[in-house]
Amino acid sequence: MNPRALSAALTSAGILRLLEAALDALSSGWLALVLTLLVPAHADAQSTWVTDPAIQQRLAAGEVVVATSAIDPAHPRGRIRAAVRIEATPEAIWSIVTDCHRALLFVPGLRECRRIDGAADGSWQDVEHEVRYSWLLPTVRYVFRADYDRPHRIDFHRISGNLKEEEGTWLFTPTADGTGTVVQYEVYVDPGFWIPQALVAHSLRRDSRAVLTGLRECAEHDGGRCTEK
């Protein structure tokens, strides 16, 4: 910058313009950061693992695919993720997943489910569960917050109760041919008391498969109604 231009820049008007430009750049940076933080960190990982051709083939064949996610230092017990193809719309499946009465009929070990709070616009609910995960484990009662993006996504996390931690996600993606929905389910549970990690993982894999199998039966038969066996 030549001396004359530098002198002009140092006038009050020049300094003001420089500050405005700096603030604009800073605001843009903060906006980009905020938008990044608002996107769940695991969303891409969840939505892409099922696009593997081998996984797609298994889903098309009617298999409930269950896998253990990579170990995250923040979640040392690991996460379980599962997927299934269901011949129903995302909206129809959503109505089943968010219905406490029907959840009692297909979620293993679920003994009680009740809504205790929620947003007037339906964007979230607080739900209480009483669950017996295994005959080896005591019955636990806890409350979780479910954040809704209807009918595409549910994110949930424990807010009180016996469990130390529970969090997870449901994703509902229409199939390419438009005839069904790929349902993805991911969950992490830390019971808060000592139990072998292998037993926790085994229980979650078994229950995840049972949940998605039961959900498919509810959505595809009897007009989407779960019925007592």
| pLDDT of res. 188 | 81
Residue 29 — pLDDT band, cuts 50, 70, 90? very low
- Percent above pLDDT 90 for the chain: 41
Q: 24 pLDDT exceeds 90?
A: no
Give mean pLDDT, residues 50-70.
88
| pLDDT of res. 227 | 56
Q: 107 pLDDT exceeds 80?
A: yes
Convert the pLDDT of each residue in 114-154 to its tens digit: 999 999 999 999 999 998 766 656 788 889 999 999 999 99
| pLDDT of res. 64 | 95
pTM above 0.75, yes or no: no
Q: 40 pLDDT exceeds 80?
A: no
Q: What is the 3-state secondary structure (H, E, C) of the chain?
A: CCHHHHHHHCCHHHHHHHHHHHHHHHHHHHHHHHHHHHCCCCHHHHHHHCCCHHHHHHHHCCCCEEEECCCECCECCCCEEEEEEECCCHHHHHHHHCCHHHHHHHCCCEEEEEEEEECCCCCEEEEEEEECCCCCCCCEEEEEEEEEECCCEEEEEEEEECCCEEEEEEEEEECCCCCCEEEEEEEEEECCCCCCHHHHHHHHHHHHHHHHHHHHHHHHCHHHCCCCC
Convert the pLDDT of each residue in 157-172 to its tens digit: 988 887 777 889 999 9
| pLDDT of res. 199 | 65
Residue 36 — pLDDT band, cuts 50, 70, 90? very low
| pLDDT of res. 137 | 63
Convert the pLDDT of each residue in 88-106 to its tens digit: 999 999 999 999 999 988 8
